[in-house]
Amino acid sequence: MDPAAPGDPASVVVNYYSSLPGDIDGAWEVLSDRARDESGGYDEYRSFWSGIREVRATNVAVRRDTVTADIEFTTASGRTSRESYRFEVDRDDDGQVRIERAQRSSDSI
C-alpha cells in the first residue's frame, strides 16, 4: 500500500485527529464498533472531545496495519499533554478503513 494513498493506515490516523475536535461526529464514524465500545460510548466520547481545544498527531509510523503516533492534546483551559499511542487499523466488511483499537502506551509532559 502506498503510504501516501488515501485510506492507508497512517493517513487514517492523521486525518482522524486533524478532524478533531471540530468534527466529533465525523471522527466517530472512523472508529470501529470495538473502538467505540472501548471509548465508553458516544456520550463519553463527545464529552471528552468537548474539553479539547486542539489535537495533533506527530511521529507517525506504520508497520503493516499498526500505526504508532504521539498525540498532543491541548485542553480548553490550555493544558497540554503528549501521549504515545498504538493504533490497529483495518478495513471493515464495506471496505472502509477504520481504527479498530487505540491503545495508550505511555504518558509524558
Q: Give 89-109 pLDDT, tens digit per residue.
A: 998 888 888 999 999 985 443
Q: Give 50-71 pLDDT, tens digit per residue.
A: 999 999 999 999 988 799 999 9
Q: Which DSSP helix (H) or strand (E) runs through 79?
A: none
Sheet with 66-75: strands ordered across: 52-63, 66-75, 80-91, 97-108
Is 92 or 39 the better-scoring residue by pLDDT? Answer: 39
